[in-house]
Structure 1
Amino acid sequence: MSDSPLFADFCNLLQTLSNQRGTEEKKKRLRRFVHTWRVKYGDFLPAMRLLLPQVDKNRYRLKESRLAKAYIDALGLGRDSEDAYELLKWKLPSSSKYSKSSGDFSAVAYEIIRSRSTVTVPTRTVHETVELLDDINASSGNEKKQSDYFKFAVTHYTAEEHQWLIRTILKDLKIGMSETSVFDVYHPQAKELYSVTSDLKKVCEKLQDPFARIGKSTIQLFHPFKPQLGQKQVPKNVKQLAHNGRFYIEEKVDGERAQMHYEKLSGDFKWFSRKATDYTDLYGSSKDSLDKLSGQVASCLAADSFILDGELVAYDPQLDVFLPFGTLKSSVLHGPFDIDDIHPCFLVFDIVYCNGVSLIDHPMEQRLEVLKAVVTERRGCISFIFRKEGTTFQHIVQALDEATTLNQEGIVVKNPGSIYEPGARNHSWVKVKPDYIDELRDNCDLLIVGADYGTGKRGSKLSQFLCAIRDDRLSSDESPKFATFAWIGTGYTVNELEEFSKIRQHFRSYNPRSQPEWLVHPEKSSESPDMIIDYHNSIVVEVKAAEICYANTYGSGYSLRFPRFARFRPDKSWKDCMTYQDVVTMKREGGQMNLSMSSRRPLSQDTFLNQKKKRLAIKDINRKRKGTSLIPTQIGTDSSGIKIHTSLFEGMTFYVVSGDDSHNKAELEKVIKSHGGSYEQTAKNANYVIAGSNINGVRIMALIQSQEHDIILPTWIMDCVKSQDIVPITPKYTVFLTKATKDKMSESIDPWGDSYTEQVNEQSLREIFQNIRQQELHDSARLIDDIKRKYFPRSEVPGFLFWRVTALLDFSPLNAPSLGRPSTISVDEAARNDRLDVVDLMIQSQGGTTHKYLGVDGDIDTEITHVVLDDCHLDGMQRIFKALTGRRQPRFVSMKWVSDCLDNRSLLDERLYEPRTTGSRVAN
């Protein structure tokens, strides 16, 4: 019996999975393959390594450029030959027979190998292929040996097999199956076991029998595991994070996640990265290695054995500071450990194993007690992460504000009662960064200075563009210079992409060693372009983004987070683009830009008139202030003429800070008085503080800071009046609650607003589900945000094109009789609803949220980013605009905006799709 099937058969499986649609269908096909393998060949490890190259321990250190050179040598291609050029410039468009493969290196290589290879019959097995890949990995750094292995591959593997060999080496099979899906097919406990061992061999050995069940897996000394990760969000529901009313707030360090394994008897160390990469050679394998970090920390460790979880950072003893992430590796590689020079330091935040016992099932507060007992700090070598306790959301806000002031990355909030879950990303640890809270205020006008050819369908087009800012630190008599700033690869339509092609003839190949004098860009930057364009021949574009951040891979030292093309600026030249000082100023002021146009109110003549009136009113107030003890917003309503209708609020004193969109401060005070209550203009003697609009204002934030008063929304007052009873205060009515109130409330209400004692009705159940739904949406948004930042920095996340969109669809009402209209709708209106139904599905299928507007007052109960109108029925435009008065004005767009965004796989500029009626622009 052969030990494995032919590699060609395995390649056929991969091709089938790649072509198959739907995860479940892929799983069925893979499940049949796994079953056959188990019956015929036993050990599934060789196949598992090929199915999951991204988690296999082989690192290869080969990218497309080095692979191209290896194949040029193995195939005996002339350096100046057409095929060699195609391999080296695989991303560039081609006029040759390989043009359809442009943008996919494995496809280009397949075409070239197929036209030259004499191997037509496959002979190599999966097992032999894995051995070849191991040899290629082991020869990393030895070009001659590596070249010999590729020459062997060219003479023993077919072109089809080479395509999958290349994808394996690049660790991207493109079969549409995640690591979790593959593990799930192999065995229900495979993912769990891999999380605590990071060892495919153990997974395949222990779970070879599909019906076998193992006990709860746990971590082991000197075996890497996948660390627990934190959610990225703003944790407003701190009760989920609290244990006995408190939680931990830790500094978020800009380092490299690492785990340290140590055994006192042998003196052995092991260091592993988050992805289980063995870093022991870098940081030391023994307590006697004084030229490594291990030798410096050994004396600080008191237990017989343990595993510590933490962050490796670079430490500067001269400045007594921890340095940014990019300096860590250089601090290790520049020479032996020198306590007086920049060196690595281990910041510990958890212990998961001690004296032969796993601690992962123990609560965090107990693990930290053990940590302090067995580890002694040594400044600059091993330290505990800075940690403090909190009890309210305001403590989180304060900690984040302090972190921002100190230019730190953010904070991590942790539940003291939580266990450690290897490989999990759950709500017991929450990461909070400043960019989760704010977004940029203004867009950037940037100059195009470079471009890259796209991949896949855009393989023959310049589709990603490098933007720059003008360096205005130069004197006026010096030639202008432009520093690279950010890449854009999304936001434009196919037609707009064609607009970029108008300057295509001015692009020329980029050579980092002969950079033009006007361009400022790091020579060895990983963000270098394929082509560059002289600034005289270029164009200015407007770019939206989320944040300005530091980035040493760009000439400016800064970059943008989530940049997106907004529009061309033909009215501007290179002299008018954003400058270095503009960037520094914006970064100093918070570096926040508005990613969505929906947060801007439309400017009109009335807007400027109102602003002028506002300025005059402020001047008038300032003139009168000298003789007035309170400013106008602190002067109470004249209650002398108010009649008392009921005694609903008798004996209750209110302080109304502000009203809301429905009732202003004066109206609320009249309501309180007319129902037997009284009101003050300070919180000192008030039983209830009421605040609606501007809940982030100075006075409200000061009240929250004091933590002495509950702050209630105005809707509570109106609901009490409506029911003629004092309605219980639930989370939906609150802005802020004191700890005492929250503790009391938690005895009768769960975090979602569901009472333990009161019967629910349809309305209250809807509110509970809405609270849960909002939290789920918030969590999903942060997860998508993280995925985009890591894996799709120049494009949209596939399947979530509209995830930031909350659309209002202008449907023709179907329940017309209740609105005083005819009981039936016309054929025309029915067709309109059908068209909007399709748009509804389009938006939701790409992660967006939709709401149907049927013309009923109060029908809009959420924050809307876009209003989608049928081009054939624009009569509701002004009606909706009126209904949205007082809110952030959304973007009004036609249905074509939705379909065009889907066609272009990118969010397009809404201004191009504004509906128009008889030549007049929509009020946006």
Structure 2
Amino acid sequence: MASDIDMPDADAAKEQTLMYGTDAELDSKYPNRPHNLHKTLPFHSLFTELFNPLLDSTKKNRPPTARRKAGPHGHSNLSPHEARRHIIEKYIAKWRKDAGDDFYPAMRLMIPEKDRDRAMYGLKEKAIAKILIKATKINKDSEDAKSMLNWKLPGQLYKSSVSTAGDFAGRCFEVLSKRPMRSEVGEMSIAEVNATLDQLSQVGTEDQQLKIFQRFYRRMNPEEMTWLIRMILRQMKIGATEKTILDIWHPDAETLFNVSSNLRRVCWELYDPKVRLDGGDTGITLMQCFQPQLAAFQKQVGSFERMVSRLKPTADDDSFWIEEKLDGERMQLHMMEDPEMPGGKRFGFWSRKAKDYAYLYGDSFDPNGESALTRFIKDAFAPNVNNIILDGEMITWDMDVDHIVGFGTLKTAAISEKESKSGIKTGQRPLYRVFDCLYLNDTLLTPYTLRDRRNALQSAVKNVHRRLEIHPFIEAHSYKEIEPELRKVVANASEGLVLKNPRSMYRLNERNDDWVKVKPEYMNEFGESLDCIVVGGYFGSGHRGGAHSSFLCGLLINKHAKPGDADYEKSYSFFKVGGGFSREDYANIRGRTEGKWKDWDAKRPPPIIELGGHADNRQHERPDQWIRPSESVVLECKAASVEASDKFRMNITLRFPRFKQLRIDKRWDDALTITEFMELKDNVEQEHAEKEKEFKIEQSRRKKARTTKKPLIVAGNDTVATPYAGPESQLFSGLAFYIMTEQTSPDKKTKAELEALVKANGGKIVQRESDDKKLVIVAEKRLVKVKSLEKREEYNIVKPVWIGDCIRQAEADVGAIPFVLPFEPNRHMFYLLADDQLPFEENVDENGDSYARDIADVDELRQILSNMPKKSENGFDSHQFVEQLDDHGESLDHLKNHMFGKVLAYFEDEGENPEWSLQVQLAKNYIRFGGGTVLDSKEKEKPTHIIVPEGEEPTLDSQPGPLPRTVGIGWIEKCWAEGTRVDEERFQWG
């Protein structure tokens, strides 16, 4: 703290009040916090002395906002990393000399994405563009206004620089440069900018936001305004990470940030680099958000054995834990004693991004309070628990179907539960699943093993049904136990698995091999390649700005339709793909489609392309431009899996699609149709089922053999299983049928025809009801006799379609033991007794799709797809959704430092060839930087790729499992040049 001699001057004292007010709480909370002795540095110093020099040191093209020369920096003898550190150190030293030790005002502008004290602005690119149009008083229909609103579109459309396409701040710089209020840098200090941004984060209307932007516009030049926009969007890209900046500020800065997520605390408690943290200051504390431990990504396809070995089994303890990976939001719960709170306890909730959620989930046990969780969980903690910190996942649970719902619905469900006073037990609600305990009764548990922490959790927390529950795990001892569990979560459409080392301690803000994610998309059987037609294009941002960076692919309805037919060229949107393209691929697509693209008009969409939301007049995943299928190209793509989605017209889509190659050998009408894709999908699912069947047979090889079909129930609750001998069989042997009416749908059959079908398949026909438990009563019209049976409430009545379904399924399963199908409530039952409702609903999934029967036709498929739930549009928070998606770490292959994330590369030796040695060293660095692994030996662990000199054959050892890819070193060089992982087949040898 400043001494009495070194008192702040008048300007510094004024800024102190401007930024922090006269809140005495700050002085009590941070009694030794530093005070600046002089006024903070000018705002423009951030980019003239810090950001621009950092961008210069990266040796990359600088954004349009950094065009001025920053002057000589004298770093020619330093490596780029050393040069960046020198620039940051120089700026911090200048701050200490000219302002003082309170660096927090500058730090929160340097890394705004880590500033938790300032609320979100609620402003994205288009909202800022509309405000700037008003602030600069330009016509909203002018080219400049359109260029900002359509910042992803190529610049030449608006007589603008192509280089700014996809760079919103850069596009704003172009527009503002034409009409600046001042040409030279302004006089606003960093303290003034912070205080004004605080105001911006607190106002809610566009008029209030406009007044603040007008204030900035009057006092800043275009370059200052553009950097301000980057700070508001929290998209800095200054060439240095927050880790580097924190480390330069203080050796313990990153450690303290990990346990507190508090940038203010880092700056105020660690302002003196010579004063180090005590051991007690480096652990988590109650009511202080921390950065949680993270799960590492699976390194290699199917490498379960290798993954288990990384969990560090010992001779005495080879166990590891398998947990289901939950599709929700990572959440930490803090509880401490507070006599002033209802129930005597105070709660805190924070997400992985350190967002405070106590306002939503509750801060006390108050049963009458507005909380989505805490008012329901008073019985969750043992009586002796005074304080506790839990780590877990907040998920959405649908009480009507008793199943988890996707994480995009979480906030809507939580708000609804918070506002509900009825106590109704149906509907969607937040459920907190706990998997770790990090603090209990004033004791820090992070140094203890996971097994010990779990024991503490079990003793301190009790399940409160569908409110707060301890997440279950399976203790396993062999890597062979992983795949069956993974198949279970695939069947349940879950996120995947997490493998954990029970002997490990908790490590803040680390991804290491103690926790490893295993996701269904890594399983080999979902790698089906698909040839689909391009029907739309999306303009990119960043280095892909100004051109199409991703494409909308569709499925043709009828490839045999002729010009003039209603279905000619018509397609349904299916998926969007933007990964795996090289510059050459983009150029080839552009060259073959040049001049054929048309801008998408939302008011007059093309009738031949149907998007998701078609039935509700919505246009989900609307492309920027569209193209006729007959003028388009066919892309071969591969994907992880197929999943339900209302964002595409097919109501299903590909998960993590990736471009493989351009099919120049195929005409547009050779692309996949809807029918062809559904057949492919059925084949993949059938292969999946066969593998699951083989695994079950292997597991039960010492037990009595039985079919994969479980005993199935007919009307009389008896099981029927008879050999099938073709269309005329004994399928219905032992069953009696009382057929009361004809069949009207899906096709018409008379009562006599139905009776003939039953007899031909071994069934017995009777002409009245009886107490026979093997009697099946069939009807589809509510005749007088049928109504009379319904009133008696003694019999289930089956629709005639069940007879046809049984015969059709038996014909499809030739060679298998035949069985009569279990009844499906909607498709098969004309009248259903109340007691049989729940048992029969277990024969289909939540969308009405049968577990035992193939889909009969396209109409039934459409019906099933229409039953799939639509994601709610009401109350959807796009900012939170993006944050949650980022929390999941999904699909990072498009990032340059992760594009080799699953690659294990082994380089063949070629003696003393110096040129090859140089290439190898460079390629190895590319692999490592891209997140891959370079192997020294292919005997110890199996490589995924073997890199050989041009024209050489690899030396392959006989090893079980799939052979590694053998590619030339040009593949690595191409991937690096393109900034994405291109398909290996174009570079494969042998």
Q: Above 0.5 in TM-score?
A: yes
Kindly indicate whether the alpha-carbon contact (under 8 Å) linking 1:840 and 1:850 is maintained by their aligned counterparts in 2: no
Higher mean C-alpha deviation, range 201-210 or range 568-577: 568-577
Cα distance 1:282–1:574, how it changes in 2: closer, same or farther (>3 A)? Answer: farther
Task: Give yes or no for the alignment of 1:585 onto 2:682.
Answer: yes
Query: For residue 804 of structure 1, what is the amino acid of its counterpart?
Result: V
Instruction: Report the counterpart of residue 68 of structure 2 in structure 1.
Output: none
Query: For residue 637 of structure 2, what is the amino acid of its counterpart?
Result: V
Query: For residue 443 of structure 2, what is the amino acid of its counterpart?
Result: V
Cα distance 1:449–1:788, how it changes in 2: closer, same or farther (>3 A)? Answer: farther
CA displacement 1:356-383 (0-9 Å, x = unmatched): 4333233333333332333221111111
What is the CA–CA distance in structure 1 between the aligned matches of 2:901 and 2:436, rounded to whole Å? 38
Task: Give yes or no for the alignment of 1:84 onto 2:145.
Answer: yes
What is the CA–CA distance in structure 1 between the aligned matches of 2:467 and 2:887, rounded to whole Å? 35
Residue correspondence of structure 1 range 817-832 to structure 2 within 5 A: none
Query: For residue 896 of structure 2, what is the amino acid of its counterpart?
Result: V
Residue correspondence of structure 1 range 159-558 to structure 2 within 5 A: 159-216=222-279, 217-233=282-298, 234=304, 235-237=307-309, 240=312, 244-264=317-337, 265=339, 266=341, 267-288=345-366, 289=369, 292-302=372-382, 303-334=385-416, 336-337=419-420, 338-438=424-524, 440-470=526-556, 479=567, 480-494=570-584, 496-512=586-602, 514-517=604-607, 518-522=609-613, 527-556=621-650, 557-558=652-653
Residue number among 782, 786, 795 corresponding to 2:894 in the alignment: 795
Q: Displacement of 1:552 after TM fit?
A: 4.7
TM-score normalised over the length of structure 1: 0.68
Instruction: Report the counterpart of residue 705 of structure 1 in structure 2.
Output: none
CA displacement 1:625-668 (0-9 Å, x = unmatched): xxxxxxxxxxxxxxxxxxxxxxxxxxxxxxxxxxxxxxxxxxxx
Task: Give yes or no for the alignment of 1:64 onto 2:125.
Answer: yes
Residue number among 12, 17, 26 corresponding to 2:54 in the alignment: 17
CA displacement 1:280-309 (0-9 Å, x = unmatched): 222223322265212111342342322221
SS at match of 1:48: helix
Query: For residue 91 of structure 1, what is the amino acid of its counterpart?
Result: K
What is the CA–CA distance in structure 2 between the aligned matches of 1:167 and 1:383, rounded to whole Å? 41
Kindly indicate whether the alpha-carbon contact (under 8 Å) linking 1:254 and 1:324 is maintained by their aligned counterparts in 2: yes
Kindly indicate whether the alpha-carbon contact (under 8 Å) linking 2:311 and 2:501 is maintained by their aligned counterparts in 1: no
What is the CA–CA distance in structure 2 between the aligned matches of 1:50 and 1:263, rounded to whole Å? 33
Query: For residue 580 of structure 2, what is the amino acid of its counterpart?
Result: T
SS at match of 2:120: coil
Residue number among 571, 577, 580 corresponding to 2:666 in the alignment: 571
Instruction: Report the counterpart of residue 8 of structure 1 in structure 2.
Output: 44
Cα distance 1:85–1:280, how it changes in 2: closer, same or farther (>3 A)? Answer: same
What is the CA–CA distance in structure 2 between the aligned matches of 1:890 and 1:143, rounded to whole Å? 57
Cα distance 1:460–1:398, how it changes in 2: closer, same or farther (>3 A)? Answer: closer
SS at match of 2:214: helix
What is the CA–CA distance in structure 2 between the aligned matches of 1:473 and 1:295, rounded to whole Å? 59
Task: Give yes or no for the alignment of 1:94 onto 2:155.
Answer: yes
What is the CA–CA distance in structure 1 between the aligned matches of 2:671 and 2:347, rounded to whole Å? 57
The count of corresponding residues between Structure 1 and Structure 2 is 693
Q: Displacement of 1:128 after TM fit?
A: 1.0
Query: For residue 230 of structure 1, what is the amino acid of its counterpart?
Result: A
Percentage of matched positions with identical amino acids:
27
Kindly indicate whether the alpha-carbon contact (under 8 Å) linking 1:364 and 1:416 is maintained by their aligned counterparts in 2: yes
What is the CA–CA distance in structure 1 between the aligned matches of 2:132 and 2:594, rounded to whole Å? 31
Task: Give yes or no for the alignment of 1:34 onto 2:92.
Answer: yes
What is the CA–CA distance in structure 1 between the aligned matches of 2:41 and 2:326, rounded to whole Å? 48
What is the CA–CA distance in structure 1 between the aligned matches of 2:956 and 2:488, rounded to whole Å? 42
CA displacement 1:303-331 (0-9 Å, x = unmatched): 23222211111112222222222222221
Cα distance 1:422–1:894, how it changes in 2: closer, same or farther (>3 A)? Answer: closer
Kindly indicate whether the alpha-carbon contact (under 8 Å) linking 2:95 and 2:103 is maintained by their aligned counterparts in 1: yes
Query: For residue 18 of structure 1, what is the amino acid of its counterpart?
Result: L
Cα distance 1:56–1:511, how it changes in 2: closer, same or farther (>3 A)? Answer: farther
Query: For residue 457 of structure 2, what is the amino acid of its counterpart?
Result: L
Cα distance 1:411–1:801, how it changes in 2: closer, same or farther (>3 A)? Answer: closer
Give ranges in structure 2 of 5+ residues lacking alignment. Answer: 1-36, 59-79, 299-303, 690-884
Cα distance 1:909–1:428, how it changes in 2: closer, same or farther (>3 A)? Answer: closer
Q: Displacement of 1:495 after TM fit?
A: 6.1
Kindly indicate whether the alpha-carbon contact (under 8 Å) linking 1:448 and 1:465 is maintained by their aligned counterparts in 2: yes
Query: For residue 498 of structure 2, what is the amino acid of its counterpart?
Result: V
SS at match of 1:313: strand
What is the CA–CA distance in structure 2 between the aligned matches of 1:366 and 1:213, rounded to whole Å? 31
Q: Displacement of 1:463 after TM fit?
A: 2.8
CA displacement 1:771-802 (0-9 Å, x = unmatched): xxxxxxxxxxxxxxx99994765735248569
Cα distance 1:85–1:521, how it changes in 2: closer, same or farther (>3 A)? Answer: same
Kindly indicate whether the alpha-carbon contact (under 8 Å) linking 2:926 and 2:972 is maintained by their aligned counterparts in 1: no
SS at match of 1:412: strand
Kindly indicate whether the alpha-carbon contact (under 8 Å) linking 2:392 and 2:436 is maintained by their aligned counterparts in 1: yes
Q: Displacement of 1:581 after TM fit?
A: 1.2
Instruction: Report the counterpart of residue 778 of structure 2 in structure 1.
Output: none
What is the CA–CA distance in structure 1 between the aligned matches of 2:379 and 2:940, rounded to whole Å? 65
Cα distance 1:512–1:866, how it changes in 2: closer, same or farther (>3 A)? Answer: farther
Kindly indicate whether the alpha-carbon contact (under 8 Å) linking 2:538 and 2:549 is maintained by their aligned counterparts in 1: yes
Instruction: Report the counterpart of residue 7 of structure 2 in structure 1.
Output: none
Kindly indicate whether the alpha-carbon contact (under 8 Å) linking 1:809 and 1:851 is maintained by their aligned counterparts in 2: no
Cα distance 1:863–1:317, how it changes in 2: closer, same or farther (>3 A)? Answer: closer
Q: Displacement of 1:80 after TM fit?
A: 0.7
Kindly indicate whether the alpha-carbon contact (under 8 Å) linking 2:40 and 2:189 is maintained by their aligned counterparts in 1: yes
Kindly indicate whether the alpha-carbon contact (under 8 Å) linking 2:598 and 2:627 is maintained by their aligned counterparts in 1: yes
Q: Displacement of 1:125 after TM fit?
A: 0.8
Cα distance 1:512–1:6, how it changes in 2: closer, same or farther (>3 A)? Answer: same
Kindly indicate whether the alpha-carbon contact (under 8 Å) linking 1:526 and 1:553 is maintained by their aligned counterparts in 2: yes
Q: Displacement of 1:498 after TM fit?
A: 4.1
Residue number among 179, 189, 197 corresponding to 1:125 in the alignment: 189
Query: For residue 134 of structure 1, what is the amino acid of its counterpart?
Result: D
SS at match of 1:237: helix
What is the CA–CA distance in structure 2 between the aligned matches of 1:261 and 1:887, rounded to whole Å? 47
What is the CA–CA distance in structure 2 between the aligned matches of 1:205 and 1:149, rounded to whole Å? 29
Instruction: Report the counterpart of residue 75 of structure 1 in structure 2.
Output: 136
Task: Give yes or no for the alignment of 1:839 onto 2:936.
Answer: no
What is the CA–CA distance in structure 1 between the aligned matches of 2:320 and 2:542, rounded to whole Å? 47
Q: Give the aligned CA root-mean-square deviation in angstroms.
A: 3.6
What is the CA–CA distance in structure 2 between the aligned matches of 1:86 and 1:366, rounded to whole Å? 59
What is the CA–CA distance in structure 2 between the aligned matches of 1:374 and 1:474, rounded to whole Å? 66
Query: For residue 461 of structure 1, what is the amino acid of its counterpart?
Result: A
Residue correspondence of structure 1 range 850-861 to structure 2 within 5 A: none
Residue correspondence of structure 1 range 505-904 to structure 2 within 5 A: 505-512=595-602, 514-517=604-607, 518-522=609-613, 527-556=621-650, 557-561=652-656, 563-574=658-669, 576-577=671-672, 579=674, 580-582=677-679, 584-585=681-682, 588-589=685-686, 790=889, 795-798=894-897, 800=899, 804=903, 806=905, 811=910, 813-814=911-912, 833-847=913-927, 863=943, 865=945, 868-870=948-950, 874=951, 876=952, 899-904=973-978
Instruction: Report the counterpart of residue 979 of structure 2 in structure 1.
Output: 905
Q: Displacement of 1:238 after TM fit?
A: 6.2
Instruction: Report the counterpart of residue 765 of structure 2 in structure 1.
Output: none
What is the CA–CA distance in structure 2 between the aligned matches of 1:788 and 1:5, rounded to whole Å? 35
Query: For residue 611 of structure 2, what is the amino acid of its counterpart?
Result: V
